[in-house]
Amino acid sequence: MESSIKLADLIGRYFQQRGLKHVFAVAGGASLHLIHGFKNTKRISVICCHHEQSCAMAADAYTRLNHESCVAIATSGPGATNLITGIAGCYYDSIPTIFLTGQVSTFRSSSGTKLRQMGFQETPIVKMVEPIVKYAVQITEANNIVYEIEKARIIANNGRPGPVLIDIPDNLQRALVKVSELKKFIPEDNKKNQGDIAELRTMLMKLSAAKRPVLIAGWGVHISKTERLVREFIESINVPVALTWGACDLLEGDHPLRIGTFGTHGLRYANFAVQNADFILSLGCKLDTKATGSPSNSFAREAWKCVVDVDIEELLKQPRNGLKIDLAICAELSDFMKLLINELDSLKIERKDSDWVGVINGWKSRYEIRKEAASQKIDGINPYIVMHKLGNVCNKDWNIFLDTGCTVAWAMQSFNNLTGARVYHDFNNTAMGWALPAAIGGSLADQSRRTLCVTGEGSLMMNIQELATIKRHDLDIVIIIVNNNGYSMIKQTQDQWLNSEYIASSTEGGIGFPDFGILAKSFEIESVLIESESELNHIEEIISNKRKSALVIDIKISSNWRVSPQVKYGKPNEDPEPLLNREELEKEMLIDIYDQKE
């Protein structure tokens, strides 16, 4: 006679069979059976964070590193709603994380009534998250659990990936089910589109004729695992590559075809290269306004542009935004790249000459980022030097997690010396506080590499409770605090639009910060304070000689530092602040200056 199994235990067993080793959870009344179900597998470790937002962000990072769906668990009500910021980060960056929420028992549900709430902490989490997930469902029949989990997992990973959420009432979690009676999910054939041969050949002919081609690589290159294919393509044809933040680590710093990061917070010389291009091939980049600048029609305006994206909606948006795309190809990037390389060989496209690369190298020399940063003429530690030094030491076997604000912008402009390191950020949601829990998830997902968390003091405060999680699991994480005693990215916006009134962005404007050394000590974590350039010169030694446990390095910089260059809204990408004089700009531009109509 077939024995029965508790539904929560069945869920744990399902994920164990698929190789999951960690889940992230905060205990709550409606999630306890789920948590116990994973713990009962004996092979899955339940990592207990102190905030559900951190669980979501840790699971997000874990999924990014492993390319396999990780799981975060929360209880009903505030537990579930606390996941939402992390879910949004997964959705906008196409990360197929699985979220399991406990829910009040079905006999306490307000469903079908006009009540706001019947059961304690009842919240309609499925309806709340529907705009930011690929699939969300509440289990109403215990025998549907395998069907819904398998369906959700496949939806999360097929096409353009994204998160899913399964809401499970408490009484169903503890229900006994028979495996033979469980409904099974049978997926449909996943038809992939690799692109049209005729269109692809048109693009290659345009590339062959181009004098100033640029390939744009975005986060989608990493998601699709096409790094090797993209590299093979660019090196065979000798096309320089401009990078979004999501692909900043695609090529090592000294690769001759690496231009650097472009866009509104990119490098001046990278923007010169993109804006002056006569051919653009965009791979795995949605070309949002952060990439194109504003108005969108100022972007690479004399280039013939081809965009490859798995999401048709990303392609359809461009005409609405005023950006002309000459060839839009909706295709799976992995399949497209294989076809592209085959056609490249078949058509015998010749390598581009190096004159264009030489022009770009001239811009690189004249507008090197540390030269640009020095123009701010601010005393004390230069954050661009901090990031350059971190790039020197954290190579090869490091995973780097960046927080939002000036921290990520300084890093993306300065990480021109990486070799083998991987860089992670919640690129499109850019939530303050993401880096610390993400570093926890990353450290557990990839224990063969070391972990660096680079954050600002403002961002760190958003999830500072997770220092306890790091200590509890004795994780080898270096935490760099770029401490400018305020929100400098917000201050920069206030400089541009609000007469430099630093309300809600400075200590004078209403925010406060602790002594991070004392705080680290309270968590029994070692800390180092760096307040001068001479002390900063030892940072590589400090990091390299650190014993394998957590370390907090608090680096004090002036509150006057800003991101420079940065493109102000309404300006084309080739014209970031600090503005060049018009004569110099005209000299550097190979196409006409953009006509900025008032």
* pLDDT of residue 388 exceeding 90: yes
Is 112 exposed, middle or buried (CB count within 10 Å of its CB: 0-12, 13-18, 19+)?
exposed
DSSP conformation letters of 236-301: HHT--EEE-GGGTTSS-TT-TTEEEE-STTS-HHHHHHHHT-SEEEEES----HHHH-SSGGGTTT
Is 234 exposed, middle or buried (CB count within 10 Å of its CB: 0-12, 13-18, 19+)?
buried
DSSP 3-state helix, strand, coil percentages of the chain (rounded to 5)? 40, 15, 40
Tokens of 143: 């025998």
Tokens of 575: 């014209």
Give percent above pLDDT 90 in the chain.
86
How does strand 279-283 pair with strand 213-217? Answer: parallel
Quick: pLDDT tens for 451-490: 999 999 999 999 999 999 999 999 999 999 999 999 999 9
Q: Name the one residue in this structure whose structure tokens are 């097929």.
A: 158
Going by pLDDT thresholds of 50, 70 and 90, the confidence category of residue 597 is low
Identify whether the C-beta of residue 200 lies closer than 8 Å to the C-beta of residue 343: yes
Global pTM value: 0.96
Give percent above pLDDT 70 in the chain.
99
Give the Å distances, CA to CA, from 426 to 62, 160, 461, 563: 13, 16, 17, 19
Over the chain, what is the mean pLDDT?
A: 94
Looking at 415-537, list the stretches that DSSP marks H as alpha helix, in order from N- to C-terminal side.
Answer: 435-445, 457-462, 467-472, 488-497, 516-522, 533-536
* pLDDT of residue 190 exceeding 80: no
What number is the average pLDDT over the span 370-381? 89
Tokens of 448: 């063969």
* pLDDT of residue 28 exceeding 70: yes
Q: Is the bond preceding residue 295 a cis peptide, omega within 30 degrees?
A: yes
* pLDDT of residue 166 exceeding 90: yes
List CB contacts of 554: < 8 A, sequence separation 6 or more.
Answer: 481, 483, 516, 517, 527, 528, 529, 530
The domains found in the chain, sorted by start residue, are 5-181 (3.40.50.970), 197-366 (3.40.50.1220), 378-556 (3.40.50.970)
Quick: pLDDT tens for 507-525: 999 999 999 999 999 999 9
CA distance 355 to 341: 24
CA distance 508 to 502: 8
Residue 217: beta bridge partners? 243, 283
* pLDDT of residue 577 exceeding 90: yes
What number is the average pLDDT over the span 5-26? 97
CA distance 276 to 281: 14
* pLDDT of residue 561 exceeding 50: yes
Going by pLDDT thresholds of 50, 70 and 90, the confidence category of residue 546 is confident
Quick: pLDDT tens for 299-324: 999 999 999 999 999 999 999 989 99
Quick: pLDDT tens for 396-448: 899 999 999 999 999 999 998 888 999 999 999 999 999 999 999 999 999 99
* pLDDT of residue 548 exceeding 90: no
Tokens of 291: 């990439």
Q: Is 555 helix (H, G, I), strand (E, B) or coil?
A: strand
Identify whether the C-beta of residue 337 lies closer than 8 Å to the C-beta of residue 226: yes
Going by pLDDT thresholds of 50, 70 and 90, the confidence category of residue 598 is very low
Identify whether the C-beta of residue 68 lies closer than 8 Å to the C-beta of residue 225: no
Going by pLDDT thresholds of 50, 70 and 90, the confidence category of residue 534 is very high
pLDDT at 544: 84
* pLDDT of residue 351 exceeding 70: yes
Going by pLDDT thresholds of 50, 70 and 90, the confidence category of residue 76 is very high
pLDDT at 240: 97
